[in-house]
Amino acid sequence: MRGWKLLAFLLVLPMTASTSFAAGFRLPEAGVKAMGMGFAFTAQADDPSAIYFNPAGITQLQGSNVYFGGTYVRENGGEFSGMTPLTVVTPFPVQSETQKSLDFFIPNAYYTYTSKTSGFSYGVGLFAPFGLGQEYQNASTSIFRNQITNINLQTLVVNPTIAYKVGDSLSIGGGIDFMYGWADLKKTPVNVGLAPTGNVNLYNLDLSGDGTAWGYNFGILFTPVKNLKIGASYRSNFDLYIKGADVDLTNINPAVRAAFGGLPSYSTTGSTTIAMPATFALGASYNWDRLTVEVDADWTFWHSFDRLQINIANPTPALPPVSNSPKNWEDVCALRIGVEYRVTDPLALRAGFAYDPTPVPAETMGPELPDANRLNYMLGAGYKVGNWTFDGAFMYVQKKDRTVNNMDNPPIVPAGLTGAGTARNGFNGTWSGDAWLAGLDIGYKF
């Protein structure tokens, strides 16, 4: 199951890393035109990416349309300054840490068809609504190694959609979502009771697996007066179930090998379930000749992510059978605004801004997802050539510095030489970081 990796994400969600570019680990980068307008697109929803942003919007399209592309992400390594349980009780007095700078690609693809006579439209979308990735510089000496050294999560959703134009001023739409996801997690648990031996690392832990989930979505598009559109869209949560994921331990410390049959490596399996959050967006757009302005409020119902329980098959005294980590994330509402000015019939210029508050409370925040409130700045452009459409956008993510003091204190220093997780979790310190994204989508109408 190594080729398809998701349990890593789930097993580390008590300690999640972020490549997501809305707060938490959500990815709104499902369409580049929308990205150029700050993702304020719920009321416009006038290209095939409406399948994601508001399925009722596909009734505005004519004939058959394809739209595909993606977004390149450059995540600049976040920087930490402060203390962790390992800087206090081990002979590694490092007081700072830097994540590696990473590169990612977020794909999207859509097809829609609108009937000329029946008022019905249908289509299918492919996008990645959640994802994250992070890696620390040194897996064997990182001051966060007992919590995480590497994580990579990818999800893909296939979303068949149908919509109906009720009248000149109202359209409705909805669809079914099928999610497939995979990820990989690595960390190095520490037992500070092994300090006299000169090696406090218990083993290198690698967890990998995949899983599936089902959901649904629906939307409404209303035009009460000429030039004004109001849109609303809801997307359900995903109960992602992982079963039989690989759990591999290597470089087991000689002091604890007896717990693993005296071997330097050990393999077993694990399972877990997680509810990825539901979302709801409400937007209004107005058009003045060549200028369109939209404002959206976008809620993510992170309260579903209150805890994560991981079950390990064939546990040992150094590998506990159950890990139950409280998270208690909070619902948040992002505010988005976007403008488009059509310079000529083929050429449109766009700009947007979004404020994304973090759902992660200070009490449960870990170095795996050192999340903070974000200010997102976007610029974009679109150009039409015959039946072809080209949309490009650039986005800068400014994460506000965040200081948190939640380190478990004091760390447990056991008398024996067995047991895992005794270095505890959390940190006292300040995080900073940023990222930038560039996207391109190509559309064709036939």
Q: What is the dihedral of CA 249, 253, 255, 260, to 10 degrees?
A: 20
Question: 308 pairs with which residues across the strands?
Answer: 325
Q: Lowest-confidence range among 186-190, 194-198, 394-398?
A: 194-198
**Residue 39 or residue 152, greater confidence:** 39
Is the predicted pLDDT of residue 434 greater than 60, yes or no? yes
% of the chain with per-residue pLDDT over 70: 90
> 34 is written with which tokens?
């929308």
Per-residue model confidence (pLDDT) at position 146: 84
The separation between CA 390 and the C-alpha centre of its own chain, rounded to angstroms, equals 26
Per-residue model confidence (pLDDT) at position 423: 64
> 280 is written with which tokens?
């709801």
Q: Which residue matches tokens 């994460």?
A: 399
Q: Is the pTM of this model over 0.75?
A: yes
* Under 8 Å between Cβ of 19 and 193: no
Per-residue model confidence (pLDDT) at position 24: 77
Is the predicted pLDDT of residue 416 greater than 60, yes or no? no
Predicted confidence (pLDDT) per residue in 368-406, tens digit: 788 899 999 999 999 999 999 999 999 999 989 999 988
What is the distance between the alpha carbons of residues 41 and 50, in angstroms, rounded to a whole number?
8
The average pLDDT across 410-428 equals: 56
* Under 8 Å between Cβ of 60 and 46: yes
Q: Lowest-confidence range among 70-79, 106-115, 402-411?
A: 402-411
- Residue 40's contacts (CB-CB under 8 Å, 6 or more residues apart) are 34, 283, 285, 294, 295, 296, 336, 337, 338, 352, 354
The average pLDDT across 163-188 equals: 92
Q: How sure is the predictor about 239, in pLDDT bands with cuts at 50, 70 and 90?
A: confident
- How many other CB atoms sit within 10 Å of the CB of residue 290? 12
Query: Which of 73, 171, 182 has its CA nearest to residue 122?
Result: 171
Delineate the domains of the chain, giving CATH numbers in brackets: 7-445 (2.40.160.60)
Query: Which of 433, 437, 346, 443 has its CA nearest to residue 36?
Result: 437
Predicted confidence (pLDDT) per residue in 320-332, tens digit: 888 777 888 999 9
What is the distance between the alpha carbons of residues 353 and 405, in angstroms, rounded to a whole number?
31
- How many Cα atoms within 13 Å fall on the side-chain side of residue 128? 23
Is the predicted pLDDT of residue 2 greater than 50, yes or no? no
Per-residue model confidence (pLDDT) at position 65: 97
- How many other CB atoms sit within 10 Å of the CB of residue 10? 27
First to last CA, the chain: 41
Predicted confidence (pLDDT) per residue in 96-132, tens digit: 888 878 888 899 999 999 998 888 999 999 999 998 7
Average model confidence (pLDDT) across the chain: 87
**Residue 154 or residue 42, greater confidence:** 42
Cα distances (Å, whole numbers) of residue 199 to 96, 191, 255, 256, 320: 21, 9, 9, 11, 21
> 130 is written with which tokens?
């959640």
Q: Lowest-confidence range among 181-195, 230-244, 263-277, 279-293?
A: 181-195
The average pLDDT across 181-196 equals: 82
Cα distances (Å, whole numbers) of residue 11 to 65, 183, 271, 296, 309: 40, 10, 9, 34, 8
| Secondary structure string (H, E, C) spanning 150-176 | EEEEEEEEEEEEEEEEEECCEEEEEEE
Predicted confidence (pLDDT) per residue in 333-360, tens digit: 999 999 999 999 999 999 999 999 999 9
What is the distance between the alpha carbons of residues 270 and 261, in angstroms, rounded to a whole number?
19
Q: How sure is the predictor about 420, in pLDDT bands with cuts at 50, 70 and 90?
A: very low
**Residue 387 or residue 315, greater confidence:** 387
